[in-house]
Amino acid sequence: MRSKDYTLCILVMAIWGLNFSVVKLGLNALDPMLLTGLRFTLAAVPAVFFVKKPDVHWFYLAAYGLTFSVGVWGLSTWAIGAGLSPGMAALLIQTNVVFGLVLGWFLLKESVSTNRFIGSLIALLGLAFSLTVSDGSITMEGVLLILVAALCWSASGILLKKSKTKRIFAFSVWSMLFAPIPLFFISYIQVGTNGLTALVENLTTLDIFSIIYQAYFTTLFGYWIWNRLVVSYHLSYVAPFTLLVPIFAILGSSILFHEAISSQKVLSCSLIAIGLLIGNFPSTKIKELAQHLKLKHSNEFKKEG
């Protein structure tokens, strides 16, 4: 991966990490599905009027739009609304790395190198430690919702690959057209007209900031860069970068909501970071290092002999 893409990827991970806290800001007055629907409405309109439709089948636009909007962010926002802290939501959704490796291997026939496999196992160990947290930042409902969201995230990456689109930004914008109506409908099923009533009566500056941040920074900019990287590189290669998201998320949640950074969370993030480094260390470099150590050991043995 080029150094420019590394920098952009880390920037997007920071934006996404802070997004979990920004989502919680919006949930003070808004229903989760309504908040997510407003996010994707602003992200799609008016941008769709200035961006030409990508030359892909409508199926991919609709399937990606629904999987990504309702599956990933609708459920993630719902999970936070169900009591899962922003930091833990960001941490647990990283199970998409495992789903991404498996789906990329099974559906796209992508190879999975040994170091990425080992790195993913170490990252999973970090995620397992996160489940030992007992400071009230985890709820069973929230965990179940975020795990389904993680699966949807990997599925959306597969759909993007299968579409073979080269116009990533246009694909993102047009797919979002399929997001608002299902999200608003689910909101109506869950809370009736109370969601709209709360929007009209209780909307604050923080709620507006939450919607704008999610629509333009997280969605339009963030996923434009992310989807470009997914198309340019193997899914199993770029997916581990999302392990940086919980580090930024926990820091942001600690600053904004005073979320405790316990020893379990520090250990979880440390293992995740180590797994990321191992998973993204070039296999050729590992082989070269192993050969160098083997040669050095052989020479020392000859000298001793």
pLDDT in tens, 40-63: 999 999 999 999 999 999 999 999
- HSE-up of residue 291 (Cα within 13 Å, Cβ side): 6
Q: Are 71 and 155 in contact (CB under 8 A)?
A: yes
Least confident of 24-33, 156-165, 204-213, 240-249: 240-249
Residue 305 above 60 pLDDT?
A: no
CA distance 129 to 118: 17
Q: Are 86 and 143 in contact (CB under 8 A)?
A: no
Q: Are 40 and 184 in contact (CB under 8 A)?
A: no
Other C-beta atoms closer than 10 Å to the C-beta of 188 total: 16
| 8-state DSSP, 281 | S
Q: Are 36 and 180 in contact (CB under 8 A)?
A: no
Q: How far is the first Cα of the chain from the last one, in angstroms, to the nearest whole number?
A: 44
Q: Are 266 and 34 in contact (CB under 8 A)?
A: no
Mean of pLDDT values over 16-44 = 93
The sign one gets for the Cα dihedral 151, 86, 177, 187 is positive
At residue 224, the pLDDT reads 82
CA distance 172 to 169: 5
More confidently predicted of 263 and 1: 263
At residue 64, the pLDDT reads 95
Of the candidates 8, 23, 11, 9, which has an alpha carbon nearest to the alpha carbon of residue 253?
Answer: 23
Q: Where are the beta strands (DSSP E) in 176-227?
A: none
Residues 84, 89, 90: CA angle, nearest 5 degrees: 160
Q: Which two tokens stand for residue 172?
A: 């993102």
Residue 290 above 60 pLDDT?
A: no
CA dist list (Å): 167 to 51, 52, 123, 185: 10, 10, 32, 30
Q: Mean pLDDT highest for which of 1-5, 72-76, 94-98, 155-159?
A: 72-76
Of the candidates 11, 243, 9, 201, which has an alpha carbon nearest to the alpha carbon of residue 116?
Answer: 243
Mean pLDDT for the chain?
83
Q: Are 162 and 103 in contact (CB under 8 A)?
A: no
- Cβ contacts of 134 within 8 Å, gap of 6 or more: none
Least confident of 127-136, 208-217, 245-254: 127-136
Model-level pTM greater than 0.75? yes
Residue 77 above 90 pLDDT?
A: yes
To the nearest 10°, the Cα dihedral for 102, 104, 109, 115? -70
Mean of pLDDT values over 168-186 = 93
